[in-house]
Amino acid sequence: MPIFHRTALAQELATHILDDDLAPARSGLFLGARRRTGKSTFLQQDLCPELKRRGAIVIYADLWEERDQDPGDVIIEAIREELARHESVVMRFARSAGMERVNMGGVAFTMDRVGLGKQVSLAKALAMLSDECQRMIVLIVDEAQHAITTDKGSNALYALKAARDKLNMGPHHGLRIVATGSNRDKLAMLVEWKDQAFFCAPMKEFPPLGVDYLNWICERAPASAALNAGALSTLFERSGYRPEWMQIGLNALALRDNWTPEEAAAVFAETIESRADSRIQNLLALIGLLSPLQSAVLRVLAAQGRRFVPFWNRTLETFRLVIEQDDGNDVDEPINVETVQQALDALKDKGFLWRSVHGVYALEEFGIREALEEGRLLTESTQRVTLMGRQAA
């Protein structure tokens, strides 16, 4: 499928990332955007090539793509792959491991000696790569929030922090870490929590595709459709800025080439609307299958976001209120720390929630909140926030 290139954005971000004098860029850059809005496409198709064009060594790890693997391993593997591409670096490793006489074709230095708690630490490996190539390294971690769902992932982030601090000082050529994520609450834990590897790294909203993209869509529609970007922008917003939905609208128009502009606009709008509607209905149907307590926990968490305190008495009361008053159900199971914990675990297993190694929960993706909002399930009761350290309001 053809894609729309975001050259100007790639240039702007590349300048920001590589700028040596820009202190914040040295601590890393975190980009947050919703699911399916084109983050990975942009990173791979526009940002990586631009960074390479400017001479950087770019390492890309998508922690979402390889979901069955530990995120820590995905990061380490991406680094090993890049190291293996540089013959001179491999030779240096081999020499430092006392393998002077081993040539490249033989059983030489194998990359599994690089990693956490291994002979060659990530910081050392990256420093050697940077020194040997005399170039800055940019490590892009896509969907970085997955790293803090496992111990190994968290440790890999700490190792990267150590590497970043090492390479950005002294005689090396610098290491920049760019991370993306599709839920701001999760990403925020990486940069706002004092014990996190990227505490204080700047976080930016990754801008959704804009009017230039919509113009590109208009050009790809049959001429008779006479679409215009202005009219499409409301629909694009309705799609949650997902390019796939615009493509589905285009596919509907590709069936004919003798539209009137009114017909074309109506068909495009209907396609998006029915897609939006079915996405929400599907999610609501899944939510309808949850137990009363699971459903209440999900809705209270969605309504309260980062202020959600799952186990406090007042929150437990809120769950009861939602079940009894909003849903008209009897509370026939006890609501206590154990049952709420079980509900949280079940919601995680069903793909509604995400859990960090610290045990903090967040919605798996923003779309769940949207569906709950549209289904009018985020009622006043769900928003009864428990304020820590204060009397109940």
Ligand X SMILES: Nc1ncnc2c1ncn2[C@@H]1O[C@H](COP(=O)(O)OP(=O)(O)OP(=O)(O)O)[C@@H](O)[C@H]1O
Q: Round to the nearest angstrom and report the end-to-end CA distance of the chain.
A: 54
Footprint on residues 233-292 left by ligand X (CB under 6 A): 243-244
Single out the segment in contact with ligand X by CB under 6 A; choices: 37-45, 80-88, 167-175, 221-229.
Answer: 37-45
When asked if residue 60 is in the footprint of ligand X (CB under 6 A), the reply is no
Nearer CB in complex with Mg ion: 230/351: 351
How many residues bind to ligand X according to rule CB under 6 A? 15
> Are 325 and 116 within 8 A, CB to CB?
no
Residue 4 sits in the site that holds ligand X (CB under 6 A): yes
Are the CB atoms for 184 and 175 separated by under 8 Å?
no
In this chain, which of 11, 40, 329, 342 binds Mg ion, going by CB under 5 A? 40
- At residue 247, φ and ψ (nearest 5 deg) are -65, -35
Query: What backbone torsions phi and psi does residue 30 show, to the nearest 5 degrees?
Result: -115, 125
Q: Among residues 241, 263, 249, which one has the least CA distance to residue 220?
A: 249
**Cβ contacts of 357 within 8 Å, gap of 6 or more:** 148, 149, 150, 151, 153, 154
Nearer to ligand X, 205 or 330 (CB): 205
3-class DSSP string for 95-119: HHCCCCCCCCCCCCCCHHHECCCCC
CB of 49 to Mg ion, least distance (A): 17
Contacts of ligand X in 207-226 (CB under 6 A) = 209
115 binds ligand X (CB under 6 A): no
- Only segment of 8-16, 33-41, 51-59, 81-89 that touches ligand X (CB under 6 A): 33-41
Please identify, among the stretches 34-42, 154-162, 285-293, 342-350, the one whose residues bind ligand X according to the rule CB under 6 A. 34-42
Binding mask 142-171 for Mg ion (x = CB under 5 A): ------------------------------
> Which one of the spans 14-22, 36-44, 307-315, 348-356 is the region binding Mg ion (CB under 5 A)?
36-44
Residue at shortest CB range from Mg ion: 40
On whether the CB atoms of residues 241 and 205 are closer than 8 A, the answer is no
Strands of 203-205's sheet in order across? 57-62, 137-142, 175-181, 29-32, 203-205
The Cβ-side half-sphere exposure at 167, using a 13 Å CA radius, reads: 32
Residues contributing to the site for Mg ion (CB under 5 A) = 39-40
Residues contributing to the site for ligand X (CB under 6 A) = 1, 3-4, 35-41, 64, 182, 209, 243-244
